[in-house]
């Protein structure tokens, strides 16, 4: 099984590198383990009698996170749905509130090496309300 995952990771890394971004074999191996996975996180009181959902994270058939839902004791607090572009990078995130209404839409642009370049934040009506620019500074 490990040999199969390693071969799959190597094949995927070669195909992803063709898009101008490199994904490590370790990252691909992690994704392979998360295929079609749903992770539920529970909170439990000290006495152990009461528990409630804290988070649910859902991964797709390629092992990429496609949604993350945060809960409070009263129910859903926030949900984020993630969609990916043809290059395999996050293209858009839609954020929903506790009533499952869209509160924010984030769209991304990337540098040639696959790092984030710009994040555009939109209101539910489609109006742009802020832009976040990413700057990468390496020091010795």
pLDDT in tens, 78-98: 999 999 999 889 999 999 999
The pLDDT mean for the chain works out to: 84
Task: Show the 3-state SS of 62-104.
Answer: CCCEEEEEEEECCEEEEEEEEEECCCCCEEEEEEECCCCCEEE
Residue 125 pLDDT > 50: yes
Query: With 70 as the cut, is the pLDDT of residue 2 above it?
Result: no
The per-residue pLDDT for 34 is 84
Global model pTM greater than 0.85 = no
CB contact at 8 A, 124 and 56: no
């Amino acid at each position: 099984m490990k040999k199969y995952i390693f071969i799959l990771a190597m094949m995927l890394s070669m195909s992803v590198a063709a898009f101008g971004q490199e994904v490590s074999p370790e990252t691909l191996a992690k994704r392979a383990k998360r295929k079609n996975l749903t992770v539920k996180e529970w909170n439990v009181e000290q006495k152990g009698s009461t528990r409630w959902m804290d988070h649910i994270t859902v991964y797709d058939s390629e092992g990429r996170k496609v949604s993350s839902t945060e809960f409070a004791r009263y129910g859903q607090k926030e949900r984020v749905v993630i969609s990916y572009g043809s290059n395999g990078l996050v293209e858009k995130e839609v954020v929903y509130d506790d009533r499952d209404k869209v509160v924010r839409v984030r769209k991304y642009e990337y540098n040639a090496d696959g790092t984030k370049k710009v994040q555009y934040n939109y209101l539910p009506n489609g109006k742009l309300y802020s832009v976040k620019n990413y700057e990468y500074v390496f020091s010795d």
